[in-house]
Homo-oligomer: A and B are copies of this chain.
Amino acid sequence: MKRPTIADVARSAAVSPTSVSFAFNRPERVSDETRERILSAAAELGYAPDPVARSMSIGRTGTIGVLVPQPLASVVHNPYMSEFLAGVAEAAETEDLPIMLVGPRQGSIEHAIFGAAVDGFLTIGLEPFRPTIQLLTTRRLPYVMVDSDAVDGVACVNADDTAGARKAMIHLLEAGHRDIGILGIRSPQPGRWERYVGTLGRRMAGYLAALEVYGMSMEDVHLTECTVTEEGGRRGLSRLLDKPNPPTAVVSMSDIVALGALAEALHRGLQVPGDLSIIGFDDIPETRWARPSLTTVSQSSQAKGRIAAQLLIDLISGDRQPEHILLETELVVRESVGPPR
């Protein structure tokens, strides 16, 4: 038995399909009596309007897409992303919009963009790489870029990474540290920090700005790139500690990496912050659980998600123009930073 269509209901209630549609979507267009008849016929047949056909007709899907450049599984796992998504959900909820998680398809973002039935995209951490933007534009859907470099004419939402990174580095410098390591994030051009773009680039710029305040430069610190996992943090810190003149403090571009580094330091029997100070970035919930709890830079991912989603929703409904939004970052002082020995 196939799924009943609007025509089946119409036949069974002895009216036109038009009336059935009206009975569901514009009750005032049919008489009470007819509506009753239609609805009960529908109930009897077990009729439910097909959302796809509906979308097709009205030209909207009522869904917003969240486009992520990594495999979905890793994304949902990532606490930073969870918070972000919670924010997106918060905004989506007020409009009763489901949210669609879209990862790469057949390995390519392109297929993903073209295949998703959504009214607009929220992109996360996409390299502001021309091709991708162009695809998004070709698709002619509104979109908001989060955690990328701001692009003219495109809606963008970012945390003020530069200021945040600056605060983090200043915090260490003020505490008296001069031998500092940076746990960076693996980049397309390993080690070429001058070429970092997007979030990475801005954070690096912030570190740099802080160093300059103290008359230092990149020459005076050790940078190592890590994968964004605890394991990555472990390894990264190991590399730094095994150098001839190990740092007395490290800043990390990500809390996850920082927590890995913390674990490694404790594993090696180091006192934190006695022997080594550590500072992270993102303020994920785990930083509070860590012992010692992690000093980090908060960027309220949830607010970011909420604000970005709201912007997208407004863009879709057409009552706002693309704009750039910069969210404040804040240094959250906890227990993992102290003066050098």
Contact = CB atoms under 8 A, between A and B. Distances in A.
A6 to B, nearest CB: 14
A77 B83 contact: yes
B114 A48 contact: yes
A341 to B, nearest CB: 25
A62 interface: yes
Q: How many copies does the complex hold?
A: 2
Contacts of A65: 98
A105 B83 CA distance: 22
A75 B88 CA distance: 12
A93 B70 CA distance: 11
A77 B84 CA distance: 9
Interface in A66-108: 71-77, 79, 82-83, 85-87, 89-90, 92-93, 96, 98-103, 105-106
Given A71-B89, A89-B103, A96-B106, 14 more contacts: A46-B140, A48-B138, A51-B116, A51-B117, A55-B117, A61-B117, A72-B93, A74-B86, A82-B82, A98-B100, A98-B103, A100-B100, A286-B289, A289-B290
Interface of A: 3, 46, 48-49, 51-53, 55-56, 61-63, 65, 71-77, 79, 82-83, 85-87, 89-90, 92-93, 96, 98-103, 105-106, 111-112, 114-117, 137-140, 285-286, 289-291
